[in-house]
Structure 1
């Protein structure tokens, strides 16, 4: 027989029952877990549902419609609002998102999946780009299933090629005479990119009269964003301060060319060095050098010729690396090749300097006008030997010998 002193009274039993019910309710509601964190299974008709949602995103004609189509989670709403604002800032038109595949199998611990989508759009002319060219990208969207059978679209990453800039983050556009700067998540906060872009535009115009169009600069906040925007692996852009490329990396015309900065490198430079880089890239952009088959030393050497045209730094600064090589008995035996300009090439700085010294030598002997004429001839498809003969009366071998002598003489004048 149980000890009466150890029996629970009615009130105590009632309290225990209430505690048990409360604990059960707590476990069921999980108030510590936000609604976005609840793992929901992927519906059987995932492909059909995603195709419908991306069509709705394409058809959306307002921010509210776009946000609604992106899903109900907080992450989806924030992502959609940011993307819509970026589209608006860029004047994006004819935006289309076409579901291709994926989203049917969870590939992340939170139950989300990845879906491949073809994205196309046209940029507004007010950002200095063609308003007729269609930009296309293959994009991987992170999609999280919802309890109502739809999905929340929470992020985007490049699948094949570059990420559309309006999917990269918060976008703002700064316009100045002759230049446009597109900032992603605030861009580079260390240097005055807007005024530097205007300076670059003016510098190119002074050396190459008749150049038309604006310099459009994309200034990401992180190196990772830069890699995504140019469609390159992170390791391949770590040493690059800036690159001139067609927006989204595909198709388009020379009018769709932009300069994309790498803040991890560009923002660490002093003002002079950063300006040289930006003017160098602006030369590529404004002379339509992107995609040309011209010899690399012509394209890169001329860009540095423009960038350093009015520079007052000594040769020990502007050409210190190549002149040190010459003084050490390692003078180049031939004109720089395309391989020499490879991003992973050893002594890349010396290669660029050596190409610049070719144009510096030619300008000192023949003047800017003939140098510009030579560059434009090669860029338009004239064979190198013919352009050299027409502009300067030189053969490739004669140019090489004169350049080697010029390097040796220059090296002897610097300490």
Structure 2
């Protein structure tokens, strides 16, 4: 029990309460930390000021100028310094940031807002791309008002299209024969992406000798970064191990496309499976499959035909899902459609395996050279029936019947 003779009187207790409240208020406001932690009202002429500020970022010729244009806060300086160094690592040129709208209304307790900015740039030749294509997308920049009626620009997220690679994090570029790897925030440190990309380039050359160019692979640190870099919602990339896309996420040719890895999915794969994925995507890149208007099963099946051409795994491993479906009485009734390859659908692995089994069958019956000729004919714009007839002397119906029979026989011999 406390000694009643040592209790404080009511006046003294009240003084102590007021002192405690004052100290708590001082700690909460933290005036000694400067503008980073003070809420400052957004100026009435925010659009005009942001237009000027993003123009200054565009016109900056050095890291010091770029950092100065980004604002006075520690967060702005750190963001701008990282972005400038990532630009330099990519050899980015023709960088332009054009303010579009926003920034006038705060949407967070810290008083910051989002401003929409059209960002365009060109990648340098040093990362295996042509360096002649302008990549553009609309980016939402997080801006914080400062006491001098300027803004600090502290972060960037995609708004329409993909996030420019140099705004995604700290970028480094590493090279191997036939391959370039761009790591974002260190990428997936557990995966030897450089050697895998080089092996993928060589594997494609052995099946399709006339392909040209390097394989450029982007290895982000997180799945969220991967989704931002390809311009897709997070839910739409959860099942995807990698995707081949243009840097701004809008398609293109092998002259300006990259393979973007999904580290969350790669973390679940052994090295053999991961190598198959990289070679599959490298096939897309090197055969100009991105944006091609043709049957999805042709594009995806051929990519696995190349990726699994020298694979030593058993059919139970490389086609286990589709063969299990067949054994369960769920044999496909038609060739795979574009809808079957929907990244959000169930049974995606079985769909890819079924497309590969078409090409595996064709390779066994007609040989690699005729399979490659068929693929190149379809990719060149030939109708499917015409390409089948020219390459193999069969129709689509005959191909379908032969494939279904092949699936049934394979399922019966593989446990």
TM norm structure 1: 0.92
Distance in structure 2 (CA, Å) of the matches to 1:32 and 1:336: 64
Provide the aligned C-alpha RMSD in A.
1.9
Distance in structure 1 (CA, Å) of the matches to 2:27 and 2:208: 72
The aligned residue for residue 9 of structure 1 is: none
The aligned residue for residue 14 of structure 2 is: none
How far does the alpha carbon of each residue in 1:160-198 deviate from its partner, in whole angstroms, 9 at most, with x for none? 110001001000001111001000000011210110000
Secondary structure of the equivalent of 2:97?
Answer: strand
> Who wins on radius of gyration, i.e. which is larger?
1
Is residue 240 of structure 2 the alignment partner of residue 240 of structure 1? yes
Q: Map of 1:160-309 to 2, 5 A cutoff? A: 160-250=160-250, 253-309=253-309
Q: CA deviation at 1:345?
A: 2.1
Is residue 315 of structure 2 the alignment partner of residue 315 of structure 1? yes
CA contact (8 A) 1:161 1:231 kept: yes
Distance in structure 2 (CA, Å) of the matches to 1:375 and 1:384: 10
Distance in structure 1 (CA, Å) of the matches to 2:72 and 2:367: 65
Label 1:251 to 1:405 Cα distance change in 2 as closer, same or farther (>3 A): closer
Secondary structure of the equivalent of 1:202?
Answer: helix
Q: CA deviation at 1:31?
A: 4.3
Distance in structure 2 (CA, Å) of the matches to 1:393 and 1:363: 14
The aligned residue for residue 345 of structure 1 is: 345
Q: CA deviation at 1:339?
A: 1.1
Distance in structure 2 (CA, Å) of the matches to 1:95 and 1:163: 14
CA contact (8 A) 1:134 1:252 kept: no
Distance in structure 2 (CA, Å) of the matches to 1:382 and 1:116: 43
Q: CA deviation at 1:105?
A: 1.3
Label 1:37 to 1:329 Cα distance change in 2 as closer, same or farther (>3 A): same
Distance in structure 2 (CA, Å) of the matches to 1:364 and 1:376: 18
Is residue 120 of structure 2 the alignment partner of residue 136 of structure 1? no
Distance in structure 2 (CA, Å) of the matches to 1:404 and 1:327: 12
Distance in structure 1 (CA, Å) of the matches to 2:368 and 2:313: 19
Q: Map of 1:349-364 to 2, 5 A cutoff? A: 349-364=349-364
Q: Map of 1:397-408 to 2, 5 A cutoff? A: 397-408=397-408
Secondary structure of the equivalent of 2:336?
Answer: coil
CA contact (8 A) 2:253 2:291 kept: no
CA contact (8 A) 2:253 2:290 kept: no
Label 1:147 to 1:321 Cα distance change in 2 as closer, same or farther (>3 A): same
TM norm structure 2: 0.92
The aligned residue for residue 111 of structure 1 is: 111
Q: CA deviation at 1:268?
A: 1.8
Distance in structure 1 (CA, Å) of the matches to 2:344 and 2:55: 42
Secondary structure of the equivalent of 2:80?
Answer: helix
Bigger shift: residues 245-254 or 227-236: 245-254
How far does the alpha carbon of each residue in 1:327-355 deviate from its partner, in whole angstroms, 9 at most, with x for none? 12221111111111111222111111111
Distance in structure 1 (CA, Å) of the matches to 2:81 and 2:59: 16
Distance in structure 1 (CA, Å) of the matches to 2:258 and 2:39: 41
The aligned residue for residue 148 of structure 1 is: 148
Q: CA deviation at 1:267?
A: 2.3
Q: Map of 1:335-414 to 2, 5 A cutoff? A: 335-414=335-414
What are structure 2's unaligned runs of at least 5 residues? 1-18
CA contact (8 A) 1:388 1:394 kept: yes
How far does the alpha carbon of each residue in 1:225-280 deviate from its partner, in whole angstroms, 9 at most, with x for none? 00100111111111111011111113654311111001000122000000001100
CA contact (8 A) 2:29 2:38 kept: no
Distance in structure 1 (CA, Å) of the matches to 2:50 and 2:384: 53
Distance in structure 2 (CA, Å) of the matches to 1:180 and 1:97: 27
